Amino acid sequence: MTRTAAPATLLAGALLLTACGSAQEPATEAAAPAAATQPRTTAPQRTVTDPVVLTYDGGLYVLDGQSLELVKDIPLAGYNRVNPAGDARHVLVSTATGFRVLDAASATLKDDEFKAAKPGHVVRHAGTTVLFADGTGEVTLFDPAELAAGLPEGEVYKAATAHHGVAIELENGELVVTLGTEEKRTGIAVLDKERKEITRSEDCPGVHGEATAQDEAVVLGCEDGVLLYKDGKISKIDSPDEYGRIGNQSGSDLSPVVLGDYKKDPDAELERPTQVSLIDTTTGTLKLVDLGTSYTFRSLARGPRGEALVLGTDGAVHVIDPAAGKVVRTVKVLDEWKEPLEWQRPRPNIFVRDQVVYVSDPAGRRLHAVDLASGKVTRSTPLPQPPNELTGVVS
């Protein structure tokens, strides 16, 4: 592995987007940087309250998060993906050439872009946003607070080989980064602030996804459990099944328990799982919870008090007490639906900010807002086209 000083040179590359959450088709969502643009003297005027962003076939919708008013329809060709940038106004849009910056607060798609070959995962933690470019193995780290002034220079670290990976920087400056090649992913390495290796584990076949729990415990998924990095040590938490894939996770700073998906059929064309995993980073144990309904890789979220939330194909948000390991409530939002075979096809998404749970409805061409405390759908709004991905600003 080598480290490159920033700013980095521009990286061009075609994007072959693949899915986060599919055992057969890994996903993409991140980038490598472009040279910083000239600083701006003034930021665009804020016009959208608590922005929410949805993709559709051919563009982006920017909505007011309180009223659900459709503020702007932004045409953008291709299959695009969206992630919070890490501040109160920006969203990153994965395109065919990299990560483009959307000022969601002013509903303006900027020309600023982190150029990348096969942009992959975006991770926000401890005030740093980290992008992973699957096509090059480049990891880009930057302060999202600098986005308003242009494209941050940030730092670039390059893995030894390109792979569908993910990385996270911790509060002490350590970098946790996946290990692998285009053919095989095996584990993680932990690097110090100078990007020298501290420790590693290659006991994680098919490593995918990450989440951070209380006390900065980091969990990364494997095909037979998870790796846990905590207090300077890596440990393995095994799945109860020989093949028990946990490829998507959701964590909360308020809970030591990480919510994960759980698949146990390695030969399925498309497995529709009905169990989720709860990984306790304090005890180093893993528990399965049966929902009685299936869900998808876009179904996992956390509530404002650390609640584990899963959007089921029964149309309900299942609220799980992570400490008790039980479903304590279900909130009906949608009609029943079925996961499409192609992961790029629209399916309901869940996005949570504070007390509001946003749920997209491709079949009904709507977006719903749910008050988690009351369990009531407080607002719904029609959309011109079926929505696909859903996100918003999160600082």
**What are all long-range contacts of 97-100, with beta carbons under 8 Å and residues at least 24 apart?**
97/12, 97/13, 97/14, 97/15, 98/11, 98/15, 98/31, 98/32, 98/34, 99/30, 99/31, 99/131
**pLDDT single digits (tens) 223-280:** 999 999 999 999 999 999 999 999 999 999 999 999 999 999 999 999 999 999 999 9
CA distance 69 to 389: 18
The region of weakest confidence among 12-21, 63-72, 216-225, 264-273 is 12-21
Give residue 33's pLDDT: 41
**pLDDT single digits (tens) 181-209:** 999 999 999 999 999 999 999 999 999 99
Task: Please name the amino acid found at residue 237.
Answer: I
Over residues 69-81, the mean pLDDT reads: 96
What length does the chain have? 395
Whole-prediction pTM value? Answer: 0.89
Over residues 294-303, the mean pLDDT reads: 98
CA of 177: how far to CAs of 126, 152, 270, in Å? 16, 21, 28
DSSP track, 334-360: S------SSTTS----EEEETTEEEEE
Phi first, then psi, for residue 89 (nearest 5°) are: -140, -10
Give residue 47's pLDDT: 86
Cis peptide leading into residue 273 (ω within 30°):
no
**260, 264, 291: which is closest to 277 by C-alpha?**
260
**167, 171, 143: which is closest to 157 by C-alpha?**
167
Q: Does residue 35 surpass a pLDDT of 50?
A: no
CA of 129: how far to CAs of 123, 169, 208, 293, in Å? 6, 8, 18, 34
CA distance 85 to 140: 13
Over residues 132-144, the mean pLDDT reads: 97
Give residue 230's pLDDT: 98
CA distance 209 to 75: 30
Give residue 395's pLDDT: 86
For the chain, the farthest-separated pair of C-alpha atoms sits apart, in whole angstroms, at: 57
**104, 124, 101, 131: which is closest to 113 by C-alpha?**
101
H-helix segments, the chain:
none
**pLDDT single digits (tens) 359-376:** 999 999 999 999 999 999
Phi first, then psi, for residue 222 (nearest 5°) are: -130, 175
Q: Look-up: residue for tokens 């607060």?
A: 105
CA distance 77 to 168: 30
Can you read off the two tokens belonging to residue 65? Answer: 């998060």
Q: Does residue 16 surpass a pLDDT of 80?
A: no
Interacting residues of 17 by C-beta distance below 8 A, sequence separation 6+: 27, 28, 79, 81, 94, 118, 344
Can you read off the two tokens belonging to residue 112? Answer: 């600023």
**114, 111, 60: which is closest to 86 by C-alpha?**
114
Q: Does residue 57 surpass a pLDDT of 60?
A: yes
CA distance 318 to 300: 10
Over residues 138-142, the mean pLDDT reads: 98
